[in-house]
Structure 1
Amino acid sequence: QSLIDEAIQSVYLTRERLSVAEAYRYYKSRVIQINRGIVEGKIKPIAERSFYNRINELPPYEVAIARFGKRYADREYRSVGQQVAATKPMEFVEIDHTPVPVILIDDELDIPLGRPYLTMLYDRFSKCIVGCSINFREPSFDSVRKALLNSLLDKSWLKAKYPSIENEWPCHGKIDCLVVDNGAEFWSQSLEDSLRPLVSDIQYSQAAKPWRKSGIEKLFDQMNKGLVNALPGKTFTNPTQLQDYNPKKDAVVRVSVFLELLHKWIVDYYHMAPDSREREIPYHKWHQSKWTPSYYDGAEKEQLRVELGLLRHRTIGVAGIGLHNLRYQSAELIEYRKYCTPNNGKKLFVKTKTDPSDISYIHVYLESEKKYIKVPAVDNSGYTNGLSLFEHQRIQKVRRLNTKVLADDEALADTFLYMKKRIQEETDRFRRVKSSKPNLPKTGNTSKLAKFNDVGSEGPSSINETPVRHKSEVVFDATEHLDDDDFEDIEGY
């Protein structure tokens, strides 16, 4: 407990505002350091999730004072049930996921695909939707990554893709504080590392304080009422509401059409309609601020995509970098290993970033040069071309299942037990022989005779067996006394 408190006090509760992951890393390092001096009863470190729970149990007001100062803490907790008001766009941006309650149809096959997941980002100041992402995979780091890219980059492409949209979608730029819930995808080390240069702070909403992220929750409700409820194929949370209605049979909306309708609802309807109290219109509220967004263009845009990759730390070996059960190698990586490997015998660790939508390459951060390099997969077959990490993981899983089906577990168990039995029998037999023959020849001598007599799979199994030889050959008696020098001339035969 003292080490946990030490990590929290000296790392997390400081004005440097280091992350929870950094505090946990410090805690584990201290445990390892102290365990070096303990012979028995070594300290077992708690799991990372347990450490996060300890952080969440801290009094929020005291945490705010330690990390941000009393003035900020007083403003943050000035009254129960009231969130901090934003003073400009992108100051507080809420993010969350929701399953969209409608079954969509495949564009080409005309078959129902099920309900998609929607990840959306909501600006507290203007009440604008600043970004979103739709797919059929469960919420994950990749869902957050795609939605963030949509939020941070400009949306000048929108009208070309959806000509029916009439208005602009001006919302983008650097986020000051990202407000998230306690989903596993938001505790990801990859997300924390990616957001460090892009977001000033991350605020985790506590379960007992839903008002911290109430804007995004209301937004989902508005979307369902304003768009989804009118679509054929809508699903219901309560089965009794279905009656004679079958969402799968009544579903008619294709994926591409839903995406168009969603974007049109966001840009031409929601952004242009007054809020529930008829005080503000999101689009005009956004433009009332003098704040200018940070633009990402050219090299910065590509750098942003790299930073938002999946984080892993790996060593560089002779064969390159092993990652995702693949191997990555390049000439530049080989040169870096030549000149940057530590002289103390330690391995050369590097930070890697993977684009989950394409694993045919990774980006490796070269610490000495302060830059990322692109390293391709060693793949002569073209297997990884355009392959996503999700697809690769599913392919790997199917291969493992197929291998497991082909394996005969009972036969393998019988073979293993037979081998164990034979080894034990040999051990027992040799102990009996050794006790009856205390003066056995030296191993060095007998090894040389084994070489000479070609003991093995194609020859005899004992140096005492008389091999078939030509008349001119000399046969040694293995029972005679042998000196180490007798076979110097056949060493390495």
Structure 2
Amino acid sequence: MLDVQVSPSLPRFAFGRYDEVILDGISYRATDCSDDGYILVRTDASDVAESFSHAVLSQRVINGTLEHRRDEFLSQHARRRLRQPTRELSTLSPKTQRKAKNHEALVLAFLELEKEGKVKRTEDATKEALEEIKFRAGKYYSIASEADGGQFARNTRVSPEKVSASRLLKRVAPYSRDGLSALYGQDTQNRRERRIGPDELCLLTLTIRNYLSPERPSIADIVDDVSRAFRAENLRRKALFEQGSAGQGSGQPTSYLVPPSRETIRREINKLDPFEVVAARHGLDAARKKFAPVGTGMTLTRPLERVEMDAWKVDLKTIMSEAGIWSMLDEEEKAAFGLDMGKKTRWFLVAAMCATTRCILAMKLARAESGRAAMQTIDMIVRDKGHWADAVGTLTPWSMSGTPELIVTDAGSGFIDFDTRTAATDLGINIDAGPAGMPEFRGRIERMFGTMAGSFIGRFTGRTFSNTIAKGDYDSDKRAALTSEELSEALVRWVVDVYHRRPHAGLGGETPLNCWTRLVDKYGVAPMPSLERRRKALGTRTKYTVTKTGITILGIRYHSDALARWFMHARDPEVRVRWYSEDLGAIAVELDGVWVEIPSVLTRFRGQRAGVWLRTVREIRAAYAAEAAVSEAIIARTMDHIVALNANAMARQGLFVEDFSEERLKKLDATLMIGFRVEDTPRAATVPTGEDGLGIDLPTRRSPGADHAQPEASSGPDICEATVVDDVYDVPDLDDDWSIGEK
């Protein structure tokens, strides 16, 4: 069971007509919705309809057993899937990801120059700007990602070397249409070659240019023009053929052209540049009016239609607390949170806001902008935040969650990080980085930060003024009165109980909470991705060596029949792994190119977070330092004790960005887990012996009052059916003294 606490108000999910909903491996599509729930029909042509209440669907989403695929049955999405990889992008090979990263860096650099008017989509213009394109691409290409394999040094700018102007132009349009996944492509042998020949295509391309005329001919007119052009060309070729056969002139025998179909002509017309079409048929002024940006901004109607995410340097110097939850952290964790520096520190607040309702969907406190902070913020967006609100005692639920359609960020290093972009794409989220230095593209989140600076941060001592003139004689170092845990609690309470319930000018005086509730009831929201998808997209990307005992991470052993069968025939036991800190119950492992979920040997770890487990290890090591292995009963009791004692403190700490990078995982395995082993094999049976010292006595129903009833002699084979034997392998009562499992 997942370690989550749901909000008291249930969300209403949005399942569209062409969406696919997968429950227990069965594919459904929604046909009807009411205040009570959804009617889902199976897509296997059986026409079986089933009803699911909103409460059941919400519980499935929280458990991670519901997968929602937006517009899966839409025709254009089906065609797009033929052009794109069928697997999650983050699970493809490092070589493939490295190529895609190189291509995206060049495309993004090209689009930047295009917006500035420094390059056009022609081969000559692109060749002239190649050096500038390569230099700007280094900004994206130099950010470390899993695909690099550690080949780039930190703080070093590396630009792509081999760049072809023609190939770059071929990638710009697909990227603009389909996003990052278009750069991965597919094997050439899976692509069908065009049936139309080069001569036919050349004549067709010349003829459809007739469509670009002030007379505004229809597509039917162009079809007639193409037909006449092909007829005339074939007559000309026929004459050349006859001349060559008769030995007259210089004509050479040649083949006839095959006229294209009406659908082929229509598709080629639709490929014409839209701006050029309008300019040629209606005039340049009409084209400018149609395609020029509108100053009134975009119109948003649905919750999570557009989410703006940005990082803000907290306008406050905080004093790190050494009480409460911090006393349970070791020096390494204090260093990860910046608590070992012995001085006041600054924090970055990474926040995400629904642009339609102005509700804040996620917040993470980090020491610096990073891809890790961005990915954990995205994880918080899609998840229910009930336990964060309950931990600080808010008066209003924080139930805003779901899968956004689009996330818009700035051009900070954490948001243009390649791993972050692939993770968002795998979760079904489009992510777009706005132009650098232009916060007006993210005006709503920027204004929210301004409101927070004036309404929230200004209430605390220790505020750092933006410039020396505004600061005057104010000494922020001596008046830094807010600890970081208190800052986390204050942020949640201010967002949930103040900001969400305050009338918002951008909503016409409506509060963000009421706007969210109203629009969710009307449109619904897409549920969060399944647990398996979140694990592969957001999990720590690392490698481990498989042994006959499976894979052990942080003292937890993972094994399955599939892994055991693979190990028997594997030449290289090292595998790629996705480890998700929010659920230690399983890991994702790549076996022969296929990602398989490998569960933990002990079911106790299902739904448990890494933070709780690390504190459990420290508690057990302190109490049982001399023991070689600990039993499941000890682990269960210690984890329950820690959760009960520090649940609220750990929930407040959940706003901080946790460092579970590959490097830290390896370091924890090499330091914290030395000499620590979880006993996950069945313990030896402990049973009473018989009165004569031989064998054991088994009580039966016929002698309930006897402590050790003697079994009656019987030669029948069914004596076992009348015998009730105590479960001698039962796990000891947790109220008994703790014991150390023996192997």
TM-score normalized with structure 1 length? 0.57
Q: Deviations over 1:295-347 (max 9, x none)?
A: 459xx4475355311335x58677999999x9998554862543674xxx8x6
Q: 2:113 aligns with which of 33, 48, 57?
A: 57
Q: 1:266 aligns with which of 480, 495, 502?
A: 495
User: Which structure 2 residue ranges, 5 or more long, are not aligned?
Assistant: 1-78, 122-171, 179-269, 275-286, 325-341, 602-613, 619-657, 671-743
| Distance change (3 Å), C-alpha of 1:260 and 1:331 | closer
Report the AA paired with residue 57 of structure 1: L
State whether residues 142 and 356 of structure 1, in contact with CA within 8 Å, keep that contact through their aligned partners in structure 2. no
Alignment match, 1:293: 525
| Distance change (3 Å), C-alpha of 1:366 and 1:212 | farther
Q: 1:102 aligns with which of 316, 325, 332?
A: 316
State whether residues 410 and 435 of structure 2, in contact with CA within 8 Å, keep that contact through their aligned partners in structure 1. yes
Task: Work out the CA distance in 1 between the residues paired with 2:583 and 2:97.
Answer: 35
Q: Deviations over 1:11-64 (max 9, x none)?
A: xxx956969999x9779769xxxxxxxxxxxxxx97974564235434599868
- Map 1:420-435 to 2 at 5 A: none
Alignment match, 1:125: 356
Task: Work out the CA distance in 2 between the residues paired with 1:149 and 1:179.
Answer: 15
Task: Work out the CA distance in 1 between the residues paired with 2:80 and 2:97.
Answer: 19
Q: Which moved more, 1:218-227 or 1:248-257?
A: 248-257
Residue 371 in structure 1 maps to residue 585 in structure 2: no
State whether residues 411 and 434 of structure 2, in contact with CA within 8 Å, keep that contact through their aligned partners in structure 1. yes
Task: Work out the CA distance in 2 between the residues paired with 1:373 and 1:125.
Answer: 40
What is the aligned length? 355
Report the AA paired with residue 309 of structure 1: G
Task: Work out the CA distance in 2 between the residues paired with 1:162 and 1:329.
Answer: 35
- Map 1:221-236 to 2 at 5 A: 221-236=450-465
Task: Work out the CA distance in 2 between the residues paired with 1:395 and 1:330.
Answer: 16
Report the CA distance between 1:286 and its aligned residue.
1.1
Residue 352 in structure 1 maps to residue 577 in structure 2: yes
Q: Deviations over 1:239-275 (max 9, x none)?
A: 3433332212101112222222211211121111222
Q: Which moved more, 1:137-146 or 1:102-111?
A: 102-111
State whether residues 112 and 248 of structure 1, in contact with CA within 8 Å, keep that contact through their aligned partners in structure 2. no
Residue 67 in structure 1 maps to residue 123 in structure 2: no
Task: Work out the CA distance in 2 between the residues paired with 1:187 and 1:320.
Answer: 39
RMSD between aligned residues:
4.9
| Distance change (3 Å), C-alpha of 1:367 and 1:112 | same
Q: 1:283 aligns with which of 476, 497, 513?
A: 513
Alignment match, 2:392: 162
State whether residues 360 and 384 of structure 1, in contact with CA within 8 Å, keep that contact through their aligned partners in structure 2. no
Alignment match, 1:91: 305
Task: Work out the CA distance in 1 between the residues paired with 2:322 and 2:290.
Answer: 51
Task: Work out the CA distance in 1 between the residues paired with 2:311 and 2:108.
Answer: 21
Report the AA paired with residue 99 of structure 1: K
Report the AA paired with residue 224 of structure 1: A
Q: 1:181 aligns with which of 410, 432, 435?
A: 410
Task: Work out the CA distance in 1 between the residues paired with 2:550 and 2:312.
Answer: 37
State whether residues 548 and 567 of structure 2, in contact with CA within 8 Å, keep that contact through their aligned partners in structure 1. no
Task: Tell me the secondary structure at the aligned position of residue 414 of structure 2.
Answer: helix
State whether residues 586 and 598 of structure 2, in contact with CA within 8 Å, keep that contact through their aligned partners in structure 1. no
Task: Tell me the secondary structure at the aligned position of residue 118 of structure 1.
Answer: strand
Q: Deviations over 1:109-149 (max 9, x none)?
A: 697542221110010111111111123x2122221232222
Alignment match, 1:248: 477
State whether residues 563 and 598 of structure 2, in contact with CA within 8 Å, keep that contact through their aligned partners in structure 1. no
Q: Structure 1 vs Structure 2: percent identity of aligned residues?
A: 21
State whether residues 83 and 212 of structure 1, in contact with CA within 8 Å, keep that contact through their aligned partners in structure 2. no
Alignment match, 1:139: 369
| Distance change (3 Å), C-alpha of 1:25 and 1:393 | closer
Residue 115 in structure 1 maps to residue 346 in structure 2: yes
Report the CA distance between 1:174 and its aligned residue.
0.9
Report the CA distance between 1:79 and its aligned residue.
1.6
Report the CA distance between 1:285 and its aligned residue.
1.3
Residue 79 in structure 1 maps to residue 308 in structure 2: no
| Distance change (3 Å), C-alpha of 1:228 and 1:124 | same
State whether residues 96 and 120 of structure 1, in contact with CA within 8 Å, keep that contact through their aligned partners in structure 2. yes
Task: Work out the CA distance in 1 between the residues paired with 2:173 and 2:527.
Answer: 31
| Distance change (3 Å), C-alpha of 1:93 and 1:306 | same
State whether residues 547 and 567 of structure 2, in contact with CA within 8 Å, keep that contact through their aligned partners in structure 1. no
Task: Work out the CA distance in 2 between the residues paired with 1:76 and 1:282.
Answer: 33
State whether residues 102 and 234 of structure 1, in contact with CA within 8 Å, keep that contact through their aligned partners in structure 2. yes
State whether residues 382 and 403 of structure 2, in contact with CA within 8 Å, keep that contact through their aligned partners in structure 1. yes
Task: Work out the CA distance in 2 between the residues paired with 1:334 and 1:311.
Answer: 19
Report the CA distance between 1:175 and its aligned residue.
1.0
Task: Work out the CA distance in 2 between the residues paired with 1:250 and 1:195.
Answer: 41
Task: Tell me the secondary structure at the aligned position of residue 94 of structure 1.
Answer: strand
Report the AA paired with residue 421 of structure 2: E
Report the AA paired with residue 291 of structure 1: Y
TM-score normalized with structure 2 length? 0.40
Task: Tell me the secondary structure at the aligned position of residue 252 of structure 1.
Answer: coil
Bigger RCO (CA 8 Å, 6+ sep): 2
Alignment match, 2:127: none
Report the CA distance between 1:83 and its aligned residue.
4.1
| Distance change (3 Å), C-alpha of 1:79 and 1:98 | same
State whether residues 546 and 575 of structure 2, in contact with CA within 8 Å, keep that contact through their aligned partners in structure 1. no
Task: Tell me the secondary structure at the aligned position of residue 463 of structure 2.
Answer: coil
State whether residues 389 and 398 of structure 2, in contact with CA within 8 Å, keep that contact through their aligned partners in structure 1. no
Task: Work out the CA distance in 2 between the residues paired with 1:375 and 1:327.
Answer: 11
Task: Work out the CA distance in 1 between the residues paired with 2:421 and 2:573.
Answer: 23
Task: Tell me the secondary structure at the aligned position of residue 477 of structure 2.
Answer: helix
Task: Work out the CA distance in 2 between the residues paired with 1:27 and 1:149.
Answer: 22
Task: Tell me the secondary structure at the aligned position of residue 168 of structure 1.
Answer: coil
Q: 2:444 aligns with which of 212, 215, 222?
A: 215
User: Which structure 1 residue ranges, 5 or more long, are not aligned?
Assistant: 1-13, 31-44, 377-381, 400-493
Report the CA distance between 1:153 and its aligned residue.
1.1
Alignment match, 1:430: none
Report the CA distance between 1:358 and its aligned residue.
10
Task: Work out the CA distance in 1 between the residues paired with 2:662 and 2:387.
Answer: 27
Task: Work out the CA distance in 2 between the residues paired with 1:75 and 1:310.
Answer: 48
State whether residues 401 and 528 of structure 2, in contact with CA within 8 Å, keep that contact through their aligned partners in structure 1. no
Residue 205 in structure 1 maps to residue 437 in structure 2: no
| Distance change (3 Å), C-alpha of 1:368 and 1:99 | same
State whether residues 119 and 134 of structure 1, in contact with CA within 8 Å, keep that contact through their aligned partners in structure 2. yes
Report the AA paired with residue 212 of structure 1: F
Task: Tell me the secondary structure at the aligned position of residue 175 of structure 1.
Answer: coil
Task: Work out the CA distance in 2 between the residues paired with 1:199 and 1:268.
Answer: 31
| Distance change (3 Å), C-alpha of 1:145 and 1:57 | same
Task: Work out the CA distance in 2 between the residues paired with 1:320 and 1:190.
Answer: 31
Report the CA distance between 1:171 and its aligned residue.
0.9
Report the AA paired with residue 287 of structure 1: T
Q: Deviations over 1:444-493 (max 9, x none)?
A: xxxxxxxxxxxxxxxxxxxxxxxxxxxxxxxxxxxxxxxxxxxxxxxxxx
| Distance change (3 Å), C-alpha of 1:359 and 1:293 | closer
Task: Work out the CA distance in 1 between the residues paired with 2:661 and 2:450.
Answer: 30
